[in-house]
Chain A
């Protein structure tokens, strides 16, 4: 049985923002955790995300890939940092 449908806000920064041509989008999904969401988006977007992403933040906190995502969450996929 598939999980409940949820609506998420996904934000993109830096190279992902440029590749996708947008800084955020609203995504409706049955993905249960961040890993499933990334796989789903990578399928939909073809090239995108895939290998470039190293971490994920949900509601402005870095979380494990298997953490459950809830309706209304904001999700950010993070590529390697370049600060300092």
Chain B
């Protein structure tokens, strides 16, 4: 079940399907589609990562996420944009965050994608706990 309220930003406790997510974007004959996938790395700071957990402050995360996407739509010449962030447990290689942007041209599509991921990392209240191969675990910054 995807946690969303009819908006462009969502939190999802289940595996993300980038192909299916891309289909949800309004297209209208646009020439460009750019996507960004953040995936779970196998190491961080020299430590081997086994898995991680994302925890969100849901009400604020949804509000901030919607605000970021609205800002992107106002700032760049784009047609549509969406972002879905995982919550819960993820294994190495899984998609942690997906962003898709549709625009008439590639420049704004790439630019908006970059703006959105940077803003999500700094402004959306989601926390990450890394579980390491050696059995330890730690809350870390994105």
Query: Which residues does A use to contact B, with CB under 8 Å?
Result: 11, 13-15, 17-18, 57, 60-62, 76, 78-84
Contact = CB atoms under 8 A, between A and B. Distances in A.
A57 B64 CA distance: 12
B54 interface: yes
A9 to B, nearest CB: 13
Interface stretch (B19-27, B102-110, B114-122): B114-122
Given A61-B60, A82-B139, A83-B128, 4 more contacts: A76-B60, A81-B123, A83-B85, A83-B124
Contacts of B97: 83-84
Contact of A81 (B63, B96, B126): B126
Interface in B49-90: 54-57, 59-60, 63, 85
Q: Of residues B57, B96, B124, B128, which shows the largest number of chain A Cβ atoms within 10 Å of its Cβ? A: B57
A84 B122 CA distance: 9
Nearest to A55: B125
A13 B127 CA distance: 8
Contacts of B121: 81, 83-84
B141 interface: yes
A5 B107 CA distance: 55
